Amino acid sequence: MVALRRRSKAEIQVRVAKFLSGIPVLIAAIALGAGGSRAAENGAGPACANQGALGVSRVVSLDTTAGLHVGLKTYPQTLALGDKEVVLTFDDGPLPGATDKVLDALKAECVRATFFLIGRNAQAHPALARREIAEGHSVGHHSWSHPYKTLRGIAPDAAIAEIEKGLAADQQAATGVAWTGGRPTTPFFRFPGFADTPAALKWLDAQNIATFGADVWASDWTEQTPQAELALLMKRLERSRGGIVLLHDTRKQTVAMIPAFLKALKQGGYKIVHLTPGATPPALKNAPPGWTSETEAILKNIMPGLANRTAGAAVPIRRTGE
């Protein structure tokens, strides 16, 4: 029971939700105390051995029934986080030599994040996807192949097929459980390049999958030093007072920046919020008056160019706010 008292109420609720079909496993995990190895095996994340770590301040177990569209860069609403609360998200992995270093850094600070995987990467590197789950992270979806034309630039049926194939590959790699339609184990999705379509959004909503944009990004698709990227991101976070942060665990400069970033978050008084699938209706806040979609403005500029490109050409989407 000592171990039980050390954990926050929210964390215990998550554990209970995850172990609905295995209460004895939960009890066994608690009995193991701070080691928590059984908990790690079952996806609830290991207990934190580092007392001075940044850690997770609270867990939000989102009910995604009927879908959800959040992130002010794209949508006029976002999660109602508190002042200086941050949700960390990483796109485009998993990638050996990069994702594993990000996981090491997160582990050292007992921080949990959401990874939006590219299906073919997950299929190629299932051990990394499994590690994300084992270490308590949430594994969301980011299409099968991240088409260079975006999902908006391909036929509507092909776009849905890209999403389906991706989440089937991600789920199989990360959990070993086949996706057979409907709501996946982790019903979180992010469009490549934020290029959503009405038809794909409608499909995601019908599967009870939440669609994530972002509130803050580090523009890490642009070449910059880790130091410059950190300075830019902290400046933006100061202005936004937190929010859903988009990074890429596939980008070398971002990988190099993460340890210093986590330190800066702690020093700056920021708190980490971890998102998991669950039963809590999301608390939302609306965009301020005069809001416009930043990603839509970017896409408007680049979509004509994408349509004219041929397959195999350089992938320009990296510069667009992906």
Question: What residues line the site for Zn ion (CB under 5 A)?
Answer: 91-92, 192, 322
Least distance between Zn ion and beta carbon 318 (Å): 9
Closest alpha carbon to 168 in 149, 145, 148, 147: 145
**Burial of 211 per CB tally in 10 Å (0-12, 13-18, 19+):** buried
Q: Answer whether 116's CB lies under 8 Å from 85's CB.
A: no
Least distance between Zn ion and beta carbon 192 (Å): 5
Q: Report the residue number, 92 or 215, with the smaller CB distance to Zn ion.
A: 92
CA atoms within 13 A on the CB side of 216: 23
CB-based contacts of 61, cutoff 8 Å, min separation 6: 10, 13, 14, 17, 276, 277, 278, 279, 280
Q: How far apart are CA 88 and CA 102, in angstroms?
A: 12
Q: Report the residue number, 92 or 135, with the smaller CB distance to Zn ion.
A: 92
Q: Report the residue number, 193 or 277, with the smaller CB distance to Zn ion.
A: 193
Closest alpha carbon to 99 in 174, 197, 184: 174
Least distance between Zn ion and beta carbon 117 (Å): 10
Q: Which residue is it, tokens 């509130």?
A: 215
Q: Compute how many other C-beta atoms are within 10 angstroms of the C-beta atom of residue 275.
A: 25
Least distance between Zn ion and beta carbon 248 (Å): 7
Closest alpha carbon to 115 in 131, 149, 145: 131
Q: Report the residue number, 229 or 322, with the smaller CB distance to Zn ion.
A: 322
Q: Report the residue number, 92 or 220, with the smaller CB distance to Zn ion.
A: 92
- Residue 50 φ/ψ region, left for φ over 0, alpha for ψ in the -120 to 50 degree band, beta for the rest: beta
Least distance between Zn ion and beta carbon 235 (Å): 23
Q: Report the residue number, 158 or 177, with the smaller CB distance to Zn ion.
A: 158
Which 3 state secondary structure label does DSSP give 63? Answer: coil
Q: Report the residue number, 7 or 190, with the smaller CB distance to Zn ion.
A: 190
Least distance between Zn ion and beta carbon 250 (Å): 9
Least distance between Zn ion and beta carbon 87 (Å): 17
CA distances from 181 to 101, 163, 168, 187, 208 (A): 33, 11, 9, 11, 11
Q: Report the residue number, 85 or 322, with the smaller CB distance to Zn ion.
A: 322
Closest alpha carbon to 217 in 240, 192, 188: 240
Least distance between Zn ion and beta carbon 262 (Å): 22
CA distances from 267 to 234, 238, 263 (A): 11, 13, 6
